[in-house]
A and B are shown apart, each in its own frame.
With several copies, the nearest count.
Chain A
Amino acid sequence: MKINIVAFGIAKEIINSPECSLEVKTPCSVGSLKETLMAKYEEFQKLKSIKFAINEDYQEDRFLLNEGDEVVIIPPVSGG
């Protein structure tokens, strides 16, 4: 299936776009999405951490994606 991914902050600079889409095998967990992404964009490996929000909530590596989920890369936050 195709997963559309939105990026903010440094993630946006790494993929050089505010969004991208990746073709992944079904079922696809957050963890394997992360691996696919890190393989495609090696710069992500240099970040302190990288999390994913699915439909506006943080999700762990074992969380399974559905087609149509709102997937957002969350690099280290620095608000305040």
Chain B
Amino acid sequence: MRDIKILDTPLNTQLCHDAVEDPAAGGIVVFVGVVRDQTKNRKVVQLVFESYVPMALKEMNKIADLLYQRWGILHVCIHHRIGVLDIGEIPVIIAVSTPHRQAAFEACQYAIDTLKETVPIWKKEIFKDGAVWVSARP
């Protein structure tokens, strides 16, 4: 089962965990991204995420395909939030279940690393005195 969504409402860790439960699962690894209060020692006030949604879902599904092929995972849940997020809120959750735990760690880490490289979602950091689209400039 795969549960891949882009949502404009708060994400829920328990929900993503439950989505990948299975009697054959020995391990579940959940990665939760959190909005930090600072970046490069500059205080962040809020983050704004926007996405090219249909393509983002397509790319997230490509990641899921690869997790099944390469790690033989049982289930994957990827939820990404868009809109305005405050410090401590959750932009992304990835949950993976596998028969043995090592594969769950590897697959989950691969998923978040790849998501950050390929999925068309953009983050703008809002500071007290300005705003920056993350990663845009060299």
The yes or no answer to B122 lying at the interface (CB within 8 A) is yes
- Knowing A8-B52, A74-B52, A79-B51, say if A48 contacts B138 (CB, 8 Å): yes
Give chain A residues whose Cβ lies under 8 Å from the Cβ of B50.
8-9
Q: Is B118 a contact partner of A77 (Cβ separation < 8 A)?
A: yes
Q: Is A79 a contact partner of B136 (Cβ separation < 8 A)?
A: no
What is the size, in residues, of chain B's interface with A at 8 Å between Cβ atoms?
A: 29
Q: Is B33 a contact partner of A80 (Cβ separation < 8 A)?
A: yes
Q: What's the minimum C-beta distance from A24 to chain B, rounded to whole angstroms?
A: 22
The yes or no answer to A15 lying at the interface (CB within 8 A) is no
Q: Which of A37-80 contact B (CB under 8 A)?
A: 46-48, 53, 56-58, 72, 74-80
Q: Is B136 a contact partner of A53 (Cβ separation < 8 A)?
A: no
Extra inter-chain contacts (5) besides given A48-B135, A79-B91, CB under 8 Å:
A47-B138, A58-B118, A78-B135, A78-B136, A80-B115
Q: What's the minimum C-beta distance from B4 to chain A, rounded to whole angstroms?
A: 13
Q: Which of B77-114 contact A (CB under 8 A)?
A: 80, 91-92, 112
Query: A72–B91 Cα gap in the complex (Å)?
Result: 23
Q: Which of A1-38 contact B (CB under 8 A)?
A: 6, 8-10, 13
Closest chain A residue to B124 by CB distance? A9
Closest chain A residue to B116 by CB distance? A80
Give chain B residues whose Cβ lies under 8 Å from the Cβ of A48.
135-138
Query: A24–B49 Cα gap in the complex (Å)?
Result: 32
Q: What's the minimum C-beta distance from A9 to chain B, rounded to whole angstroms?
A: 3
Closest chain A residue to B80 by CB distance? A79
Q: What's the minimum C-beta distance from A80 to chain B, rounded to whole angstroms?
A: 4
The yes or no answer to B71 lying at the interface (CB within 8 A) is no
- Knowing A56-B54, A57-B55, say if A79 contacts B133 (CB, 8 Å): no
Query: A77–B50 Cα gap in the complex (Å)?
Result: 10
For A76, give its contact among B33, B51, B136 (CB under 8 Å).
Answer: B136
Q: What's the minimum C-beta distance from A38 to chain B, rounded to whole angstroms?
A: 15
Q: What's the minimum C-beta distance from B51 to chain A, rounded to whole angstroms?
A: 7
Give chain B residues whose Cβ lies under 8 Å from the Cβ of A47.
136-138
